[in-house]
């Protein structure tokens, strides 16, 4: 099933089924299976044949994830060599069937065993593993045999619920009888460009954006235009400079604040553009007022970074760019646009009416010890979710109660 065919109810099946229900070996140590084998490969030691097999899997994956493709992971790992990143791979004699960048984490949530976890960096916004489209059953083989290369817990972080991998993974976990616990779940802004992206935006908000667009055009005496600068060699430098000129530069969170991160960004833009996976957009009005760097795969757009000229904040150039980027995705046949932003991003939540569900869960070994560890994790996850819900509903927020008290004093009981 393609990503565009998955319904909301099917995407939520993974969550409901989840709730219903180590040691590291040297490079390329494997365990023979019925038709495939599990490997834990150090990224720094990958051979050209490994990278080629990885690229083939990425292009034929059940659900695309540019953040786990070699064009993204290899430059990032080179800038984060201290993380000692590995690839958890399932392969047969002909090709790779499963791939997920991982790291070993000791003491995660005070667990007494090592945790083999999805590798998420500050630039990685999706943790859905790459699974061969014609072999979703590879997930079952992986779960049954991952103990050959790791003896602790397995942590799947930030798995997207919009595609098919999540539902296949839920079925694989159920069939294998692996003890599991849902650790985290949240939603972030997304949109189906083929539908009316402005269907939920109020008439007043639409009029306000149109007014600001006209005001920006009057300021520069020319029309506002969206330009695709994916093939422009100067676009990357301009993006880095524009991002550094704003609040990200002041807080040193801009990409250019770190030399190795700048090199990483230049490399992924070059490699992903060559692979047809990059979309660099610029909103111009006599000069560039905002830029957006996105990844694209199988008609799905993944937001990566956005920046704008803060001297023009009164015209909301970031909002105008997002509005035009959604329309541009529709024109190019986009089926889904994942903002890849934080759940509380106000701008994206207002302009993108749909939601991408993201989940993190822990998998234990089907043994007494594994089950005991998962029971402990379930209790910790329950307490964690309870604290979050109490904060969201103001139970732990004294400002909420002070505000309520003031309201009662003014209006009476």
Percent of the chain with pLDDT over 90: 65
Q: Please say if the pLDDT value at position 403 is more than 70.
A: no
Which tens digits make up the pLDDT trace of 264-303? 999 999 999 999 999 999 999 999 999 999 999 999 999 9
Q: pTM above the 0.85 mark?
A: no
Task: Provide the pLDDT confidence category of residue 250 given band limits of 50, 70 and 90.
Answer: very high
- The answer to which of 121-135, 268-282, 300-314, 376-390 has the lowest mean pLDDT is 376-390
Q: Provide the β-strand partners of residue 354.
A: 190
For residue 153, pLDDT beyond 90: no
Beta bridge partners of 338: 190, 302
SS3 112: coil
Cα separation, 299 vs 102, in Å, equals 27
Tens of pLDDT, residue by residue over 315-328, are 999 999 999 999 99
Q: Could you give the 3-state DSSP secondary structure of residue 223?
A: coil
Which residues are paired to 306 by β-bridges?
Answer: 292
* Mean pLDDT score across all residues of the chain: 85
What number of other Cβ atoms are within 10 A of residue 412's Cβ?
Answer: 6
Q: What is the pLDDT of residue 327?
A: 92
Q: Which of 265, 296, 254, 253 is nearest to 75 (CA)?
A: 265
Which three-class secondary structure state does DSSP give residue 41? strand
For residue 216, give the nearest of 289, 131, 138 by alpha carbon. 289
- 3-state class (DSSP) for residue 235: helix
d(CA 289, CA 227): 11
366 against 55, higher pLDDT: 55
CA gyration radius for the chain? 23
What distance in Å separates the CA atoms of residue 334 and residue 194, rounded to the nearest whole number?
7
pLDDT band at 404 (very low <50, low <70, confident <90, very high): very low
Higher pLDDT, residue 258 or 200? 258
The residue with tokens 């422009």 is 232
């Amino acid at each position: 099933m393609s990503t565009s065919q998955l319904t909301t109810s099917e995407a939520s099946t993974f969550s409901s089924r989840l709730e219903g229900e180590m040691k590291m070996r040297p490079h390329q140590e494997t365990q023979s299976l019925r038709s495939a084998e599990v490997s834990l490969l150090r990224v720094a030691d990958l051979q050209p044949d490994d990278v080629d097999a990885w690229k083939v899997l990425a292009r034929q994956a059940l659900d695309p994830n540019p953040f786990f493709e070699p064009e993204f992971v290899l430059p990032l790992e080179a800038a984060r060599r201290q993380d000692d990143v590995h690839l958890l791979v399932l392969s047969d004699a002909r090709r790779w069937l499963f791939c997920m960048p991982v790291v070993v984490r000791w003491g995660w949530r005070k667990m007494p065993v090592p945790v083999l976890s999805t590798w998420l960096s500050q630039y990685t916004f999706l943790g859905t593993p790459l699974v061969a489209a014609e072999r979703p059953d590879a997930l079952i083989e992986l779960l049954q045999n991952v103990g050959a290369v790791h003896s602790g817990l397995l942590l799947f972080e930030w798995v997207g619920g919009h595609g098919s991998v999540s539902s296949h993974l839920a079925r694989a976990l159920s069939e294998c009888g692996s003890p599991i616990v849902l650790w985290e779940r949240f939603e972030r802004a997304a949109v189906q460009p083929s539908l009316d992206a402005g269907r939920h935006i109020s008439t007043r908000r639409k009029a306000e954006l149109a007014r600001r667009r006209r005001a920006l055009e009057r300021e520069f005496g020319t029309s506002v235009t969206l330009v695709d600068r994916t093939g422009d060699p100067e676009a990357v430098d301009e993006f880095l400079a524009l991002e550094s000129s704003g609040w990200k530069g002041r807080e040193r969170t801009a990409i250019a604040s770190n030399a190795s991160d700048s090199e990483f960004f230049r490399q992924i833009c070059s490699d992903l553009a060559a692979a047809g996976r990059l979309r660099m957009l610029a909103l111009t009005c006599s000069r560039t007022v905002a830029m957006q760097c996105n990844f694209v795969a199988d008609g799905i757009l993944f937001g990566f970074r956005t920046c704008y000229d803060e001297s023009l904040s009164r015209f909301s150039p970031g909002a105008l760019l997002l509005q035009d980027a959604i329309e541009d995705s529709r024109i190019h046949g986009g089926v889904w646009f994942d903002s890849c932003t934080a759940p509380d991003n106000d701008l994206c939540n207002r302009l993108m009416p749909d939601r991408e569900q993201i989940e993190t869960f822990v998998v234990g070994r089907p043994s007494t010890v594994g089950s005991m560890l998962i029971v402990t994790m379930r209790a910790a996850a329950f307490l964690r979710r309870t604290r979050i819900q109490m904060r969201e509903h103001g139970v732990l927020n004294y400002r909420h109660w002070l505000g309520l008290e003031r309201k009662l004093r003014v209006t009476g009981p």
